[in-house]
């Protein structure tokens, strides 16, 4: 599918062959761990072609590839504007295997804070066990970012928008710093999706997504993907083949199904989330709203410059306490309580309980997480229904709007 086609069209057709097996309209599930050869000559021919990197669609074993997985990878590469994509069993598998592929003992990586906590844990706690040093810098502080670079630095890793505060990285500026120092760049773009942001077109080397979220879109599978140049993806593929963190055929089939409606869903979620964010920002029972589409957001201008939409996640802090925040969430009738986002169903979580339950209130304060912080992943429900539900839940937890208005 040519890149000049509209994103909506490419989401449906890109990466999939026109004439599919059995004349099916959808790409079938190739539910096989092993692919056979007609005879010894067929096997030898495959091995020789493999040495020339000319195997085409021919496969031998499921850990090295699968036709259904390959179709999903081609579609994902097309949507993000990359040469190649590689699917994994989860978003964290995509992150960890990519880092292990690019870094070795003695190397150094710089990561921005406010990335997903498990990513930060892996970089700052696990990689040092392998002799790989890491420095964490405040997101948006480009002087600190450049100041952290050493002769042994190999990679700048960031996330944009970030989780959970939806901070937006100035991607061109990040790329400029990396190029001045000859470094590789990787961006976790899960919150943005290729519909709202295309970091590869801004010069980033690798883009990572938790495909579990928006890409799949139905809260029913786990997968991750890394997208970039053929050369870099080839390096990551070699590591994946050893560790075996592969996406199975059935998950890839479900992902292909979800991707066909990606542009439709994300466009809807962009619109709904902006309406929800505006409602919450105007309500005195809400202390603060974090959403890049609001002029009050610190990186609103950056988001406008490099994003075509602001996503379906809205984070907020209530003008209350821990218990009142829990009552607010419990009073909601549409969103489910759950630790994810990006699907057709709205999901909500109280961040300190879902991600930092083992820490004390003092530790919450130390890492800058408010006990009233809530992350709402907007689904595809009617915006007016969600707003009405949020309003009644705020009333249940914090009283009526009139009681909370400033004198």
Catalytic residue flag (residue 188): yes
What is the 8-class DSSP label of residue 353? H
Which listed residue (10, 78, 116, 290) is catalytic?
116
* CA–CA dist 65, 270 (Å, integer): 34
Which listed residue (63, 235, 237, 257) is catalytic?
63
Q: Which position has the token pair 């979580």? A: 349
Q: Could you tell me the sign of the dihedral formed by the alpha carbons of 338, 342, 343, 346, in that order?
A: positive
Catalytic residue flag (residue 107): no
* CA–CA dist 71, 266 (Å, integer): 21
3-state secondary structure at position 58: coil
* CA–CA dist 60, 241 (Å, integer): 13
Catalytic residue flag (residue 63): yes
How would you class 241 by CB atoms within 10 Å of its CB: exposed for 0-12, middle for 13-18, buried for 19 or more? middle
Residue 384: count other Cβ atoms within 10 Å of its Cβ.
Answer: 11
Catalytic residue flag (residue 116): yes
* CA–CA dist 66, 137 (Å, integer): 39
Whole-angstrom CA distances from 119 to 10, 209, 314, 348 are: 31, 12, 21, 21
Which listed residue (75, 120, 154, 213) is catalytic?
213
Which listed residue (107, 114, 170, 188) is catalytic?
188
Residues with catalytic roles: 63, 116, 188, 213
């Amino acid at each position: 599918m040519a890149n000049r086609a509209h994103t909506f069209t490419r989401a449906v057709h890109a990466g999939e062959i026109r004439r599919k097996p059995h004349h099916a309209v959808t790409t079938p599930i190739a539910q096989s761990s092993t692919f056979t050869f007609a005879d010894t000559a067929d096997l030898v021919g495959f091995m020789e072609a493999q040495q020339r990197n000319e195997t085409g669609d021919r496969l031998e074993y499921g850990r090295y590839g699968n036709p259904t997985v390959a179709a999903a990878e081609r579609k994902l590469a097309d949507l993000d504007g990359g040469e190649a994509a590689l699917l994994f069993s989860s978003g964290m598998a995509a992150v960890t295997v990519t880092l292990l592929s690019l870094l070795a003992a003695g190397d150094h990586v710089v990561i921005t804070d406010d990335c997903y906590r498990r990513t930060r844990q892996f970089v700052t706690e696990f990689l040092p066990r392998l002799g790989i040093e890491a420095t964490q810098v405040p997101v948006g502080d480009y002087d600190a970012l450049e100041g952290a670079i050493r002769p042994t630095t190999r990679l700048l890793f960031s996330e944009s928008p970030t989780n959970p505060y939806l901070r937006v990285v100035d991607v061109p500026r990040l790329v400029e710093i990396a190029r001045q120092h000859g470094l590789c760049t990787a961006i976790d773009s899960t919150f943005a999706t290729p519909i709202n942001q295309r970091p590869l077109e801004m010069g980033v080397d690798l883009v990572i997504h938790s495909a579990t979220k928006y890409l799949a879109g139905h809260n029913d599978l786990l997968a991750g993907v890394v997208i970039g140049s053929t050369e870099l993806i080839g390096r990551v593929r070699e590591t994946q083949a050893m560790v075996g963190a592969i996406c199975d055929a059935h998950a890839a089939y479900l992902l292909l199904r979800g991707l066909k409606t990606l542009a439709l869903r994300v466009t809807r979620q962009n619109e709904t989330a902006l309406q929800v964010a505006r409602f919450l920002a105007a309500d005195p029972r809400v202390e603060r709203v974090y959403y890049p589409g609001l002029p009050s957001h610190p990186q609103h201008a950056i988001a406008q410059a490099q994003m075509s939409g602001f996503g379906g996640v809205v984070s907020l802090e209530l003008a209350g306490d821990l218990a009142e925040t829990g009552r607010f969430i419990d009073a909601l009738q549409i969103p489910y309580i759950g630790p994810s986002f990006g699907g057709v169903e709205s999901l909500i979580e109280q961040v300190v309980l879902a991600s930092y339950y083992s820490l004390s209130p003092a530790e919450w304060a130390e890492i800058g997480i408010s006990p009233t912080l809530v992350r709402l992943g907007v689904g595809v429900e009617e915006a007016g229904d969600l707003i009405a539900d949020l309003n009644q839940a705020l009333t249940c937890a914090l009283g009526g709007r009139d009681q909370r208005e400033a004198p």
